[in-house]
A and B are shown apart, each in its own frame.
Chain A
Amino acid sequence: MSTTAVHSLWTTAADPIQKIDAPNIEYGQLAPTLIVIGAAVIGILVEAFVPRRSRYYVQVFVSVVALAAAFAAVVALAASGYGTTKAGIAAMGAVAVDGPALFLQGVILLAGVLGVFTFAERRLDPVAHGNRVDSFAAQAASVPGSDSEKAAVKAGFTTTEVFPLLLFAIGGMLVFPAANDLLTLFIALEVFSLPLYLLCAVARRKRIMSQEAAVKYFLLGAFASAFTLFGIALLYGYAGSVSYATIAQVVDGTVETVNPALADTMGNDALLLIGAAMVVMGLLFKVGAVPFHMWTPDVYQGAPTPVTGFMAAATKVAAFGALLRLLYVVLPGLRWDWRPVMMGVAVVTMLGGAIVAITQTDIKRLLAYSSIAHAGFILAGVIAMTPDGVSSVLFYLGAYSFVTIGAFAVVTLVRDAGGEATHLSKWAGLGRRSPLVAAVFAVYLLAFAGIPLTSGFAGKFAVFKAAAEGGAGALVVVGVISSAIAAFFYIRVIVLMFFSEPRPEGPTVAVPSPLTMTAIAVGVAVTLVLGVAPQYFLDLAGQAGVFVR
């Protein structure tokens, strides 16, 4: 910045005014996120200006179109080489546009589309006062059981706000794995967390449970966010910057310029270790790794099932993306410190999730613990610290999110008078009554269990192979053992569905609209295709396996 003094007879030279450069924003490269956030804003305007009766249709339309457009943008970016050769940093270093980011954004967007489909389902709940209703409360603000609630139900209100909330969450998730400095990371974290807290609270049935789940999620989530933020502050103290690249340079000892104001604390390893631990802790919370998993079963159980499915899939994708970037870009120089710790976390996560799941009697809680065990498997791939490790994690996340959304979509179909029948005993004999639904759910369970010819096996094999090659053979052994334990409870559900006699007062299987059917069918198709012919997707993940720095 050149400083030219102003000469004049009656003035002296003042301090030169620092010119503020307009930030250089690569709108094209950020298009996926911008489209989604823009659509979310439009969604809010729709809530304000569109008549109540047509809001639902407009919202579904806007959401699907926006997500499809964003996905098209991701594909276009990837096709023009931003995932590989042209990978770079956008928005003044705040966001990375590279292989892992684009791959995960694609997965999140697809999961988002299926999420919108399950959100928009209106054929499952019985018609209330002549109105078709979805899984969400008539009026989230009315107290459960109150007159105002009854009035809202009678008037046929629906909470169409869930669609813009979903879009905001997706917007945050798109940024999360791409965040290239700690502040962006934190803001993305909050942008996707807050809508999720809200979405958890708006179930139509079992509202108190839903609200309780939301409060638990919010409180624990807030703690985790606080940890992350504190960790960010410490890392700033350590490196004098929140930028990933700069922190990595300081860790490696190759930093060029030192900010004199921060010279005192700069390079203080205590700040680095504590700060990194705290940030990682916040991410592990979102991932649902033991010992930061406590919220998972309650929230998964209490949240409206479409929300659970979306959250289980997309949050995991986004959070693992962020974790990968943090560990591979910022902290590779510290790997001798974090690898043993993360190995420990992976071991207890795999075993803990698998063992505790055995005792569960509620299908949603069961799937919650299963998701914890899966987080452990994915961590095994993260720990590999090789390009293969990255691509195996990417592949696993893609495979896992489709299985998860599909499985929770099936859960929404099995219903009795009280809404969804999630208690396992009610699933007895489902295979006799509705063979197709039970068979589809069995496919999902087998994929969770990692039986060959399903995507679960391909994914598990990929991460275990990466871990073994990365020198973490012990993790593979533990992973195999916990897979065997986990197989037990997946099999138990299959036994229950197919080999038990149906109960006379058992639940019925509702016939869904094409929306949910699409979500389930896509899930099954992806599960089988990735199981039988995964090569194309492994290639894709393999090309996307390099981070930009």
Chain B
Amino acid sequence: MSFPLLTATAALPAIGAIATAAVPAARRTAAKWLALLVSLATLALAVIVLVRFDPDGDRYQLTESHSWIKDFGVRYELGVDGIAVALIALTALLIPFVILAGWHDADPLETHSSRWRPTQGFFALILAVEAMVIISFEATDVFLFYIFFEAMLIPMYFLIGGFGDRAHAGSDEHAAAQRSYAAVKFLLYNLAGGLIMLAAVIGLYVVAGNFSLQEIAEARANGSLDMATNTERWLFLGFFFAFAVKAPLWPLHTWLPNAMGESTAPVAVLITAVVDKVGTFAMLRFCLQLFPEASKWATPAILVLALISIIYGALLAVGQRDIKRLVAYASISHFGFIIMGIFAMTSQGQSGATLYMVNHGISTAALMLVAGFLITRRGSRLIADYGGVQKVAPVLAGTFLIGSLATLSLPGLAPFVSEFLVLIGTFARYPVIGIIATFGIVLAALYTLVLYQRTMTGPVKPEVSAMPDLKVRELVVVAPLIALLIFLGVYPKPLTDIVNPAVKQTMSDVHKKDPKPEVEAAK
């Protein structure tokens, strides 16, 4: 038996989380370093996965399979395709930055009792989320996936509710109320989605008799497992609902601005760049593979919802006064693009969507973390409280600009490639929707540039006049992300090489061929 690499990649942060939580109260700094080291070691494992993965090999690689709960027909089955590998790498890459960026976010206040150990808890929870996200990217057993899809809500919930943004306008009590409202809203939305999915998971078991993604998909493909049209549609809707809440898709998106607004910037990155990706990833992996016919049936409706997400999210982003909520609505718009790319059912669209997941993760992380540094300095999330920052803190302003430009998909930066692919992929099959979606880009330019203009340019506000520039720790966080954005923008081939074969597979699952002429995506 070979070394269980995938299990190790998920287990390492899990063990690290327990170890971090167990660090004594007085050794706060040790807990931080421990968490950082664990996340870096996980990154190393993720890189090994990336290297060991052969894009032209089997569909699922590095597979592991063990009996787990025989009575439920559940197996512990792991395996990765190109899409999963890319997202695992993204997750493992972002977590060290999240930890570094949040280095001081959970230092205890004077008022805390000595037994309360927020720092340990904060970093342990981040690692726990990482472990659960990674294993849900790896799971090829529907039940196994479901368990971690649901379980990751709990650490996430504590991260949002327990470690809010200290730069909150208004009194402490008001802030606490807002925060716990956001946390509860996050949990209830996602739990409701998850429970509806549970009904569908049980339904799938009744129909198929097991939970193995590969077995079911195979049986579906060769016709040995026939589902009644209506059954398939209901099951599809059950799964899709959960993923659409997580992703989030309009009109199930309303928890995201609250959650991102009230949590600290690193946690907000964790939500939108890492956890939400599980939703879009699962649409590709589970919805399309398990229910190909129903997916095609639902495509028009989903495309319309995605389109609404794109335009609506962008419009609301334009109107925001709060920096973090602005980024949240921008993310809703971007998730619209991702979902549109997935359900356009063209290989460009799906490659684009997968790249988009990765690129959006990096670009949002860059923008949000810099915004977090900014907010910590000034102690306010309101755009109106800033002005002229670029004169005082040029490096901060410069990195913020690059993050903003990446968010509006400037050519030369990574998100451009993916957004372009999604749009041509959609246009090839649904020209009207593709054209309307393009307005999302125009609006993106509006909200990001206006944000930059209002905060960074103009006369220096007295409150920001003494603002220090980025410190070494903060530069270490931002510089690699920006380098990566530029690299993947100029040379996306390494990423597309990994992703494209997996996309081809998914396309064949749904028996869809690209409209002529067949275009090799972004070679």
User: Within A495-549, which residues are at the interface with B (CB < 8 Å)?
Assistant: 495, 498-501, 533-535, 538-539, 542
Contact flag A468-B151 (CB < 8 Å), given A492-B184, A535-B68: no
Please determine whether A451 and B154 come into contact, CB atoms closer than 8 angstroms.
yes
Is B206 in contact with chain A by the CB < 8 A criterion? yes
Q: Does B53 contact A (CB under 8 A)?
A: no
Q: Which residue on chain B has the smallest CB distance to residue A539?
A: B71
> B146–A452 contact, CB under 8 A?
yes
Check A433–B162 contact: CB distance below 8 A. Answer: no
Cβ contact within 8 Å between A542 and B203 = no
Q: Does A465 contact B (CB under 8 A)?
A: yes
CB distance from A114 to the nearest CB of B (A): 26
| A437-471 CB contacts (< 8 Å) to partner B | 446, 451-453, 457-458, 461-462, 464-465, 468-469
Bound: A492/B180 CA distance, A = 9
- Min distance, Cβ A105 to any Cβ of chain B, angstroms: 22
Contact of A433 among B115, B117, B146, B195 (CB under 8 A): B115
Is the CB of B472 closer than 8 A to any CB of chain A? no
In the complex, which residues of chain B have a beta carbon less than 8 angstroms from the beta carbon of A484?
188, 191-192, 195-196
The answer to whether the Cβ of A476 comes within 8 Å of any Cβ in the partner chain is: yes
Contact present for B199 and A535 (CB under 8 Å): no
Q: A501-B176, A534-B69, A538-B69 are in contact. Are A432 and B112 (CB under 8 A)?
A: yes
Interface bits B53-94 vs A (CB < 8 Å: 1, else 0)? 000000000000001111110000000000000000000000
Q: Is A451 in contact with B151, judged by CB distance below 8 angstroms?
A: yes
Q: Using Cβ atoms and an 8 Å threshold, which residues of chain B touch A469?
A: 206
CA–CA, A433 and B112, complex, Å: 9
Q: Is the Cβ of B162 less than 8 Å from the Cβ of A462?
A: no
Across-interface contacts of A446 in B (CB, < 8 A): 154
* Interface 1/0 per residue, A482-495 and B, CB below 8 Å: 01100110011001
Interface size class of A (residues with CB under 8 A): 35 or more
Residue on A nearest B201 in the bound complex, by CB: A461
Query: Is B40 in contact with chain A by the CB < 8 A criterion?
Result: no
Identify which of A465, A477, A487, A498 contacts B161 (C-beta below 8 A).
Answer: A498
Minimum CB distance partner of A496 in chain B: B180
- Interface residue tally of chain B, by bracket? 35 or more
Q: A370 CB to closest chain B CB, in angstroms?
A: 16
**Contact present for B196 and A465 (CB under 8 Å):** no
State in angstroms the CA–CA spacing of A498 and B183 once bound together: 12
Provide the bound-state CA to CA distance between A365 and B320, in Å: 43
Residues of A within 8 A of B206 (CB): 465, 468-469, 473
Bound Cα distance from A492 to B148, whole angstroms: 22
Of A451, A476, A535, which contacts B69 at CB under 8 A?
A: A535
A interface footprint on B156-184 (CB within 8 Å = 1, 0 otherwise): 01100110000000001100100110011
Which chain B positions have C-beta within 8 A of A498? 158, 161-162
Residues of B within 8 A of A464 (CB): 198-199, 202
A535 CA / B72 CA spacing, docked (Å): 9
Determine whether A126 belongs to the interface, using a CB cutoff of 8 Å to chain B.
Answer: no
Complex contact B117–A435 (CB within 8 A): yes
* A434 within 8 A of partner (CB): yes
Q: Which residues B206-230 have CB closer than 8 A to chain A? A: 206
- CB-nearest residue of chain A relative to B121? A435
Instruction: Give Cα A495–Cα B188 distance, bound, in whole angstroms.
Output: 12
CB distance from A445 to the nearest CB of B (A): 11
Q: How far is the CB of B263 from chain A (nearest CB, A)?
A: 12
A245 sits at the interface (CB 8 A): no
Main secondary structure of the interface of B (DSSP, over half): helix
| Residue B276 at the chain A interface, CB threshold 8 Å | no
* CA gap between A434 and B192 in the complex, in Å: 30
Is B141 in the interface zone, CB < 8 Å from A? Answer: no
Check if B161 sits within 8 Å of A495, measured CB to CB.
yes
Tell me, yes or no, whether B467 is within 8 Å of chain A by CB: no
Q: How far is the CA of A473 from the CA of B230 in the complex (A)?
A: 14
Complex CA–CA separation, A457 to B144 (angstroms): 13
Interface: A480 (CB within 8 A):
yes
A483 x B71 contact (CB < 8 A): no
Q: Is B72's CB under 8 angstroms from A499's CB?
A: no
- Verify B184–A465 contact, CB threshold 8 A: no
Chain A hits for B519, CB < 8 A: none
A169 to B103, CA, bound (A): 56
B205 at the interface (CB under 8 A from A): yes
B3 within 8 A of A: no
- State in angstroms the CA–CA spacing of A452 and B191 once bound together: 11
Which residues does chain A contribute within 8 Å of B188, judged by CB atoms? 484, 487-488, 491
Interface centre among A453, A457, A480, A498 (most CB of B within 10 A): A480
From residue A348, how far is it (CB to closest CB) to chain B in Å? 19
Judged by DSSP, the binding face of A is helix
Tell me whether B269 is interfacial, beta carbon within 8 Å.
no
Residue in chain B with minimal CB distance to A541 = B71
The reply to whether B68 and A480 contact each other, CB–CB distance below 8 Å, is no
Chain A residues whose C-beta falls within 8 Å of the C-beta of B180 in the assembled complex: 495, 499-500
What's the Cα separation between A464 and B72 when bound, in Å? 11
Contacts of B30 in A (CB 8 A): none
Does B105 make an interface contact (CB < 8 A)?
Answer: no
Q: Which of the listed residues B161, B196, B202, B206 has the most CB atoms from chain A within 10 Å of its own CB?
A: B202
A451-B150 in contact (CB<8A): yes
Q: How far is the CA of A8 from the CA of B198 in the complex (A)?
A: 83
Contacts of B157 in A (CB 8 A): 491
Instruction: Produce 1/0 per residue, A286-320, CB < 8 A to B.
Output: 00000000000000000000000000000000000
Q: Do the beta carbons of A452 and B199 come within 8 Å of each other? A: no
By beta carbon, the residue of chain A nearest B203 is A468
Q: How far is the CA of A539 from the CA of B68 in the complex (A)?
A: 12
Q: Check A491 against B184 for contact (C-beta < 8 Å).
A: yes
B113 at the interface (CB under 8 A from A): yes
**Distance in angstroms between the alpha carbons of A433 and B195 in the assembled complex:** 33
Interface centre among A461, A465, A487 (most CB of B within 10 A): A461
CB distance from A217 to the nearest CB of B (A): 34
Q: Is the CB of A473 within 8 A of B187?
A: no
A99 to chain B, nearest CB (A): 15
Cα A540 to Cα B187 with chains together (Å): 34
Q: How far is the CA of A311 from the CA of B472 in the complex (A)?
A: 61
**Which of chain B's residues has its CB closest to A449's CB?**
B191
Chain B residue contacts of A457, Cβ below 8 A: 147, 150
CB pair B116–A495 under 8 Å, yes or no, is no
Q: Given the known inter-chain contacts A446-B154, A480-B196, please indicate yes or no for A452 contacting B147, CB distance below 8 A.
A: yes
In whole angstroms, what is the CA distance A488 to B117 when docked? Answer: 26
Is there contact, CB below 8 Å, between A432 and B205? no
Known: A484-B195, A498-B158, A538-B69. A434 touches B115 (CB 8 A): yes
A499 to B161, CA, bound (A): 6
| Contact call A453/B112, Cβ cutoff below 8 A | no
**Which residue of A has the minimal Cβ distance to B148?**
A452
Contact A487 B162 (CB under 8 A): no
In the complex, which residues 455-511 of chain B have their Cβ closer than 8 Å to any Cβ of chain A? none
Closest Cβ neighbor of B180 among chain A residues: A499
Q: How many Å from the CB of B435 to the closest CB on chain A?
A: 39
Q: What are 13 A-B interface contacts by the 8 Å CB criterion?
A: A446-B154, A452-B148, A468-B203, A468-B205, A473-B203, A487-B191, A491-B191, A495-B180, A495-B183, A499-B176, A533-B69, A535-B69, A538-B69
Binding site for B on A (CB under 8 A): 432-435, 446, 451-453, 457-458, 461-462, 464-465, 468-469, 473, 476-477, 480-481, 483-484, 487-488, 491-492, 495, 498-501, 533-535, 538-539, 542
Chain B residues with a Cβ under 8 A of chain A:
67-72, 112-113, 115-117, 146-148, 150-151, 153-154, 157-158, 161-162, 172-173, 176, 179-180, 183-184, 187-188, 191-192, 195-196, 198-199, 202-203, 205-206
16 further contact pairs, Cβ within 8 A, besides A465-B205, A469-B206, A500-B176: A433-B113, A446-B154, A451-B153, A465-B202, A468-B206, A477-B199, A480-B199, A484-B196, A488-B184, A488-B188, A491-B184, A533-B68, A534-B69, A534-B71, A535-B68, A535-B69
The 8 closest A-B pairs by CB, nearest first: A452-B147, A538-B71, A499-B180, A480-B199, A484-B192, A499-B161, A480-B195, A452-B150
